[in-house]
Chain A
Amino acid sequence: MAARERDFTAPTVQLLTPEGQLRPTPEAEPYLPLVEALDDTTLQRFYRDMAVSRRLDLTGANLQRQGQLALWVPSHGQEAAQVGSAHAARPQDHLFPSYREHIVGMIRGLDPVGILALLRGVTQGGWNPDESGNFHLYTLVLASQTLHATGYAMGLQFDGATATGDPESDAAVLVYYGDGSTSQGDASEALVFAASYQTPQVFFVQNNQWAISVPVSRQSRSPLSLRGAGFGMPSVRIDGNDVLVSYAVTRQSLEEARAGEGPSFIEALTYRMGAHTTADDPTKYRTDDEVAYWAERDPITRYRTWLEGRGASAAFFDEVDQEAADVSADVRRRTLELEAPTRETIFSHVYSEPHPLMTEQLAWLDAFETSFEGGEA
Chain B
Amino acid sequence: MSGIDEEVRVTSDTTAGASVMDVATESAAPADAVRGVHTMSMAKAINAGLADAMRADEKVLLMGEDIGPLGGVFRVTEGLSAEFGEKRVLDTPLAESGIVGTAIGLAMRGYRPVCEIQFDGFIFPAFDQITTQLARQTLRHEGRVTMPVVIRVPYGGHIGSIEHHQESPEAYFAHTPGLRVVSPSNPHDAYWMVREAIESNDPVLFLEPKSRYWPKGPVDLDHAGLPLHASRVMRQGTDVTVVGHGAMVSTLLQAADIAAEEGTSVEVVDLRSLSPIDYGPLLDSVHRTGRLVVAQEAYGNVSVGSEIAATVAERAFYSLEAPVLRVSGFDTPFPPAALETEYLPSPDRVLEAVDRALAY
Contact = CB atoms under 8 A, between A and B. Distances in A.
B159 interface: no
B346 interface: no
Contact of A147 (B87, B101, B201): B101
B104 interface: yes
B110 A155 contact: yes
A147 B97 contact: yes
A352 B135 CA distance: 11
Interface stretch (A39-47, A55-63, A124-132, A264-272): A124-132
B66 interface: no
B105 A186 contact: no
A123 B144 CA distance: 14
Interface in B194-247: 200-202
Given A144-B132, A144-B133, A155-B110, A351 B101 contact: no
A5 B103 CA distance: 40
Nearest to B88: A158
Contact of A141 (B93, B132, B147, B180): B132
B177 interface: yes
A22 to B, nearest CB: 38
B174 to A, nearest CB: 11
Interface string B30-67: 00000000000000000000000000000001000000
B102 A352 contact: no
Contact of B105 (A147, A192, A350, A352): A147
A151 B101 contact: yes
Interface in B278-292: none
A13 interface: no
A192 B94 CA distance: 10
A352 B128 contact: no
Contact of A352 (B104, B111, B202): B202
A146 B269 CA distance: 43
B140 A137 contact: yes
A312 B83 CA distance: 63
A159 B88 CA distance: 12
B264 interface: no
Nearest to B146: A352
A151 B202 contact: no
A356 interface: yes
B111 A351 contact: no
B89 to A, nearest CB: 12
A349 B105 contact: no
B41 to A, nearest CB: 30
A160 to B, nearest CB: 11
A192 B101 CA distance: 12
A130 B55 CA distance: 29
Q: Which of A130, A144, A357 has the most CB of B within 10 A?
A: A144
Contacts of A153: 105
B28 interface: no
Interface in A285-299: none
A351 B203 CA distance: 9
A123 to B, nearest CB: 8
B138 A192 contact: no
A94 B357 CA distance: 60
B143 interface: yes
B106 interface: yes
Nearest to B178: A350
Given A152-B106, A350-B139, A356-B276, A190 B101 contact: yes
A355 interface: yes
Contacts of B103: 151
Given A148-B105, A151-B104, A192-B93, A348 B143 contact: yes
A196 B93 CA distance: 8
A125 B143 CA distance: 11
A124 B136 CA distance: 9
A189 interface: yes
B92 A193 contact: yes
Interface of A: 123-125, 128-130, 136-137, 139, 141, 144, 146-156, 158-159, 185-186, 189-190, 192-193, 196, 348-353, 355-357
16 contacts: A147-B98, A148-B105, A148-B108, A152-B109, A158-B106, A185-B125, A186-B97, A190-B102, A192-B93, A193-B93, A193-B102, A196-B92, A349-B139, A351-B138, A351-B202, A356-B276
7 tightest A-B CB contacts, nearest first:
A151-B105, A147-B101, A155-B109, A151-B102, A189-B98, A152-B105, A125-B140
Given A125-B141, A148-B104, A189-B95, 17 more contacts: A124-B136, A124-B140, A137-B140, A137-B141, A146-B101, A147-B105, A148-B102, A150-B98, A150-B102, A151-B104, A155-B108, A186-B101, A189-B93, A348-B143, A350-B177, A352-B146, A352-B147
